[in-house]
Structure 1
Amino acid sequence: MSVRHDVWDIYRQALPVLLVALGGGLFAGLVLELVIARAADFPGLLIMVPVFLATRGNVYGALGGRIASGLHQGLIEPQFQRDDRLLNAVVASVVNGIGISIVIGVISWLALVALGWPRADLLHLVGIMFVAGALTSGVMIIGLLGLIFYGFRAGYDPDNLVGPIVTTLGDVFGMLFLLLSVVLMEALVT
């Protein structure tokens, strides 16, 4: 194969996924507007948004990389079935995804205290992050695995899919579940 063929193949595989990612990013921005409208109820909420979204990419990007490597090496079959490698990677991602969400809430609250800035109660911020983190974990794992498995069976290189899939799912569902968490916390507080 020539370099030109390799470049075209990567471009052909990545472009449709990147276009979907563009739409997903725009949608996440619209949801962010709704979160901003509710941010006054929970001072400090907005400082958690960038780090929350970034950690979705970090945790589930690592999962996607492990799955892609397993598929390339023939260690993982592109289907949902009992597989210890897959199960271990998924469990580690769930623990990391939810755990880091709680840490985000605590560290954000501590930073706000240190700066003397207005802040919501620690339990409110941690609760919002916990619920959003738990919900995104489920969607990220099922969505990521489903799309990678489907793409791999269709002849796509999973390495071309992982980044855009993780970013799009993380942004869209991260913002949706963050908004849902805020709405739930508002209902509990009032």
Structure 2
Amino acid sequence: MLAEEHFQSKSDFDLIGSVDGMTRAQFIQVYAAWLLCLGRYGELKAREEAEKKKEEGVSVQKTLEFERKLKVASEWLAVREKEMLELKTDVEGLKGKLQKLDKDKTDLEARVVERAVEKKEAETGKENHGYAMLEIGFERARKQAEFFYPDLKFDNLDPIKVVHNGALVDDDEVDVEGGGDHDPENGAA
């Protein structure tokens, strides 16, 4: 009724009526196949668009996930770069301390050498001082002996000589175990 009132004109009705039933059936089949193709095309197109939107959604999700991971990795990298910078600063500070310690070590080694030389000089000076004191004391004793005994000659007295077997000899020539006149512990000369 809708077709008769609105879409089908008298000329269309007459045209359809002039064609036999077989032709009409074939036309309807062709027309139905064409409608079926249009419907299938629309269905496939809609499915393709849905897949495309789904892929775009997945792609957007992947992009967002990738950007999130990239942000996390960038933050991690920034923290590591900061730590690396701090470590480099620490290393430079330690290098400076090491150089100072090396210099201090060199200075201390030089001072040790100086102190060793001073010690050796002091020991030598002490020994020389001991000899000088011995000589001064010996000279005082000789002068006192000359004062008390002016007739005796003390010219042959020598502070480094000792009496051994009735002779005046150097101290290092005396055999300490052999005995003789030299007995420092009992005061014998």
TM-score range, shorter chain: under 0.3
Could you say which structure has the larger radius of gyration?
2
Which of the two has greater strand per residue? 2
With a CA cutoff of 8 Å and minimum separation of 6, indicate the structure with the bigger relative contact order: 1
| TM-score, reference length from structure 1 | 0.27
